[in-house]
Structure 1
């Protein structure tokens, strides 16, 4: 019966909870996420820093894209940048978002860490 459920695309099990749709393992034991974390995103080596307000009710957010780090490295860098700016933020989909307009401060912090930085947008 278990094999039949796995072939049908089981998404939830009362025994183990949510299931990964790709590897058919419980989400806690998923091997897909481990492989995705190990791979660093490919880029041109330039970190782009911009200020956005779209879709945020007019609030400014500083967006950092193109950092060639894995998810753990991005999370650590995001934490350091949030501390440097004294504000909140998040890391999602390979992009670091810092609340507020801190473009110049973030560019200086990234250059001090040895990244090649460009200001993107207006």
Structure 2
């Protein structure tokens, strides 16, 4: 007796629904026409990826930073219209941003 049979015995009047739930929706951010600049630097000898040029609302800016950090499983911060991500993740960040509809420009090597 599997789980479905046990549930039918417990709840005989229940009619299961079809899985009509939409898949995980992508978060919507304010999109801009200017590209976001993605560059690599070393600060205190450690690599960081810097994103500049996002001019959306502060709430979207915080959400974008949080989503990038959780997507990459790394630390980072945002200060004065700049997102700082710990490590060299330019390619992954650019793919993430392009997947969400942003125009991205890579600066430096």
TM-score by structure 2 length? Answer: 0.68
Q: Which has the higher helix share?
A: 1
- Aligned residues of 1:89 and 1:98 also touching (Cα < 8 A): yes
C-alpha distance in 1 between matches for 2:102 and 2:52: 12
C-alpha distance in 2 between matches for 1:69 and 1:60: 26
Q: Which runs of 5+ in 1 are unaligned?
A: 1-42
Which structure 1 residue ranges, 4+ long, deviate > 2 Å from structure 2? none
Match in the other structure for 1:52 = 41
Work out which of the two has the higher radius of gyration on C-alpha atoms and give 1 or 2: 2
Deviation at 1:48, TM superposition (A): 0.8
- Aligned residues of 2:55 and 2:81 also touching (Cα < 8 A): no
What is the CA RMSD across the aligned residues, in angstroms? 1.7
Q: Which runs of 5+ in 2 are unaligned?
A: 1-31
TM-score by structure 1 length? Answer: 0.61
Deviation at 1:68, TM superposition (A): 2.6
Size of the aligned set, in residue pairs, is 79
